[in-house]
Structure 1
């Protein structure tokens, strides 16, 4: 928990933070006298800083869009591929190699979604832990577990992998 205490401090101000002007606050009597004179724009803080160059802001947003969106899209596609890949493994002969009899294959499918639903609360971790750390942790765990599935030689081992895969993908979503 000492690790998380580092991130409890207020983050440094950014260029998009609300900036309140340094106007002195009116006295209560003056406020009553001039209530009708105050416009809504004066009484509310500005949500956009006029000091930001619109061209610079547009370039920064575009740069982030070109870097973040393709990465997240690729991870989502890999996540979907990984989720549906057990069907391909069944067709390729997993049923015979792991001796899946009865409803064992259905349990392999179900255990993933059970843990996926039970650990959906991990999406709140994006607010607790800085996103770059949380994303690295979850994607690394997800990749490690997905890779470990290839070396499994028993139904119970694959059940364990699918269990942990559901946990890691719940944090990724």
Structure 2
């Protein structure tokens, strides 16, 4: 079943903690997407910082792996940017069967841009590589979703773990790449 609201978002399942997706994302050029992102970047940083998670402090200063925000179907049809901390140095070159080191953190901030011209900050999606055996149900990955106002939607190692359990279910599709999706080829920054 699909539920819709006035913002153009719809739930992909009928569960209470369903992932909301944008029904009508705008089709933006790279330049347009970048302009919208630049208009929101400070607001997004302030909002996410309200979560007071040391894990994501200054994430926007981390290496960026895309040359412009791109639509991510797995993140609700939102425009996203893919950042990785220095520990995740091999994120951009990870081959099948390789893994990221413990302490690697991947962050995808997001924005909603509808075809009606509505532009809003979206959630921050975070993955943290944990020590072996820390979370067998999620292959030792911690998933966190921070809302634009800094409220915590869920944390697989803390509050509302069930609300973000679907994250790992989706990431199982790329288990051979240490459960990490990568930037679409046309948006990759050459390394």
Normalised TM-score (structure 1): 0.26
* Larger relative contact order, structure 1 or 2 (CA cutoff 8 Å, min sep 6): 1
Q: TM-score, normalised by structure 2?
A: 0.24
Which structure: greater helix fraction? 1
Task: Find the structure with the greater CA-based Rg.
Answer: 1
